[in-house]
Structure 1
Amino acid sequence: MLSIAILLLIVGSISSCEKKEIPDLTEEQVRQINLTTSAWRLERVTVDGMNQTDIYRDLQLNFSASSYTSTNGRVIWPETGTWEFTDETNTVIRRDDGLLVTIQVVTSNSLILALTWESGSITTGRIAAVSGNHIFEFGR
């Protein structure tokens, strides 16, 4: 009897550790969840787990059905560009420059995007971008 209880405890522990998956969203659902209705304002950026919000301060993104604009996006978010979903899960977009951006969260008031930027750059004495795995957290 004790061995059955231990076995059930082990099975329960393993199943509770399973990774939660992001549900597939239709393209229309993503757009209806306000991806495209108004500006997204940067709240926080981490690069490889380190807070880098100061580098991207005042970043703002606006999405339309197939394009985007940015304010204070530096080299990592060009002023204008186009985008499209990469597959039917509608959680990864490809920008016209080939960069893949993963939508980790999208609600009416929160947008979290992840991307990998390959190079750091400095312009006019200021850091324009930091290389690494970026997590951009936006709000309205």
Structure 2
Amino acid sequence: MVDLSKNDGGSGKAGKGVSDAIDTVLYYVVDLKKQQPMVQLGVGAGFGTVTGYFVTKGGRLVAATVGISFLLAQFAIHKGYITLNESKIERDMKNLHKSVMNKVSGKKVINISDSFVSEYRWILGGFAAGMLIGFSVA
């Protein structure tokens, strides 16, 4: 276990404990690919559970904020505080669609997902399962 509160005796390097902790974490993250599949699965599941829990809690807050904003915007439109020029919106959306399609059609899509998924399959599998567990716990 790394002691985060250690100091080197007042020589002005007060963040050394945190630096050691970060170095330790990075050492294990880099070497995680070399660990046994069950270790990778466990680490992925742990991080996935924590992520799923916080995404669910944060998602509820975001959904409530977006919903309230949408209701307030609809109320303002209904009362006449906001007026929409629908023809201008449609024209701008068509121009945006054309612009995006022109940029996308001219580029070659690089597919790195296959190699990434196969290389980190145990960690990603554990992460996905952990996220589902985190969703159910929240």
TM-score using structure 1 length: 0.24
TM-score using structure 2 length: 0.24
Q: Which has the higher strand share?
A: 1
Q: Which has the higher helix share?
A: 2
Structure exhibiting the larger radius of gyration computed from Cα positions: 2
